Amino acid sequence: MSLPLATRAPDFLSQTPSSPRFAFAAAGGRYSLLVFLPAPGPERDAALARVMADRDLFQDPVRLFFGVLPDPASYAGARDEDGLRWFPDFGGELRGLFKAVDAAGALRPEWMLIDPGLRLLGAGPLASLGEALGALRRLGDPEDHAGVAMTAPVLVAPRVLEPDFCRELIAAYEAAGGAASGVMRVVDGQAVGQLDDFKRRRDAHLPPGPLVDGLRARIAEQLLPELKRAFNFEATRIERYIVACYDAADGGYFRAHRDNVTPETAHRKFAVTINLNSEAFEGGELRFPEYGRRSYRAPTGGAVVFSASLLHEALPVVRGRRYATLPFLYDEAGARVRAEALARRDERG
């Protein structure tokens, strides 16, 4: 049985011929045609010939084609191109996620059309692939898929920190020097920090003292009442006191991700980005691909606040250095979730 229409497509990580770790969520903001292909033979040949006849449709960042290959030999010969990517599915994990299986659990070749918000727009057997391609051609610009202009559900709060305090935080970063910042990955069921090209950022952790006390007080007094008003959420805990630097010298960026997808981060309810020097850099805006190509940039001392479950990316800095402080907010229920996750991690050693 296929996924119901309007169901959110499952998040997953997979290798592709050009990437060892491709996050399907990164397809947000584009139309995607996901095709579960059969083993080599006439049915597959006909399907791929039909796709190639409409090759002009698939151009990033408008429309993407993802071919799911069930056999190693076909995947070994596959090559990613602009707008076209290939996933291996030798053990059937992806077709299980997307329910592209028959009653006996065997592969059911079919296509799935996914909208820019990563929700299922249509599905059908491989024989009707032409219908999917025709529909895709008629859909037009992904920015217009909702019928109205899309705005991400974020809060922009100016004047959380005053300029002098922002300068103090930047000075603390410069005095300490930043260290390369990694990402959390789940390896063998456990979240571990890893350095890779998914993010280019350097962080300095603030030690206990006046700066941490001042940052905590300002967030509590200037930001938390706005969070309560906008989202009816009462934050009682803050995780992480850091100053981060995205530097144009290495194109500082953070690719599309969510902030609460590992057991040790599941407690996070809201992410906060407070820019410390917005007038001194270009680029570096936040973007939420599931809600279109619009980007968000808070003024110096201002915050952008959003649910930790929202897909988001920090766009490359193209001039100067972007300094920001990046706490997470949660509550007492989240504190219990965090404590339990840390206890399980300690038990595993």
Q: Which of 89, 118, 144 is the last residue of a domain?
A: 144
172, 316: one domain: yes
Does residue 320 fall inside a structural domain?
Answer: yes
Is position 8 within any domain?
no
Is residue 349 scored above 70 in pLDDT?
A: no
Percent of the chain at pLDDT above 90?
82
Instruction: Say whether both 49 and 189 belong to one domain.
Output: no
Same domain, 222 and 257: yes
Out of 144, 179, 211, a domain closes at 144
Q: Among 96-105, 268-277, 300-309, where is mean pLDDT lowest?
A: 96-105
Same-domain status, 129 and 18: yes
Question: How high is the pLDDT of residue 198?
Answer: 85
We report the CATH number of the domain holding residue 38 as 3.40.30.10
Domain that holds residue 178: 155-348
- Return the minimum-mean-pLDDT range out of 52-66, 186-200, 240-254, 260-274: 186-200
What pLDDT sits at residue 292? 87
Give 347's pLDDT tier (boundaries 50, 70, 90).
Answer: confident
Give the whole-angstrom CA distance, residue 78 versus residue 227.
48
117 in a structural domain: yes
Beta-bridged to residue 10, according to DSSP, are none
Tell me, yes or no, whether 169 and 132 share the same domain: no
Residue 103's pLDDT is 86
Which tens digit of pLDDT belongs to each residue from 167-203? 999 999 999 999 998 665 554 555 555 557 889 999 9
293 and 341 belong to one structural domain: yes
**Residue 258 — pLDDT band, cuts 50, 70, 90?**
very high
3 state SS for the chain: CCCCCCCECCCCEEEECCEEEEEHHHHCCCEEEEEECCCCCHHHHHHHHHHHHCHHHCCCCCEEEEEEECCHHHHHCCCCECCEEEEECCCCHHHHHCCCECCCCCECCEEEEECCCCEEEEEEEHHHHHHHHHHHHHHCCHHHCCCCCCCCCCEEECCCCCHHHHHHHHHHHHHHCCEECCEEEEECCEEEEECCCCEECEEEECCCCHHHHHHHHHHHHHHHHHHHHHHCCCCCEEECCEEEEEEHHHCCEEEEECCCCCHHHCCCCEEEEEECCHHHCEECCEECHHHCCCEECCCCCCEEEEECCCCEEECCEEECEEEEECCEEECHHHHHHHHHHHHHHHHHC
Q: Are residues 134 and 205 in the same domain?
A: no
Examine the pLDDT at 250 and tell me if it is beyond 60. yes
Tell me if the pTM is above 0.75.
yes
Same domain, 101 and 170: no
Average the pLDDT over 25-47 and give the result.
Answer: 95
Give residue 235's pLDDT band: very low, low, confident or very high (50, 70, 90): very high
* 331 shares a domain with 235: yes
Residue 7, in any domain of the structure? no
Domain closes at, from 144, 163, 187: 144
* Structure confidence by residue, pLDDT tens digits, 80-110: 999 999 999 999 999 999 999 988 889 999 9
Residues 181 and 117 in one domain: no
> Is 233 a member of any domain?
yes
Read off the CATH number of the domain in which 252 is found.
2.60.120.620
Q: What is the rounded distance in angstroms from the CA atom of residue 322 to the CA atom of residue 325?
A: 10
* The pLDDT of residue 183: 66
In a domain, 134, yes or no: yes
For residues 62 and 204, membership in a common domain is answered with no
Mean pLDDT (the chain) is 93
Kindly indicate the confidence band of residue 40, based on its pLDDT and cuts at 50, 70 and 90: very high
Q: Is residue 6 in some structural domain?
A: no
CA distances (Å), origin 63, targets 96, 133, 142, 250, 290: 24, 11, 8, 29, 14
- Same domain as 165, residue 76: no
pLDDT at residue 136 is higher than 70? yes
Query: How many domains does the structure of the chain reveal?
Result: 2
In a domain, 4, yes or no: no
Nearest to 223 by CA among 211, 235, 240: 235
| pLDDT above 70 (res 7) | yes
Q: How far apart are CA 28 and CA 68, in angstroms?
A: 18
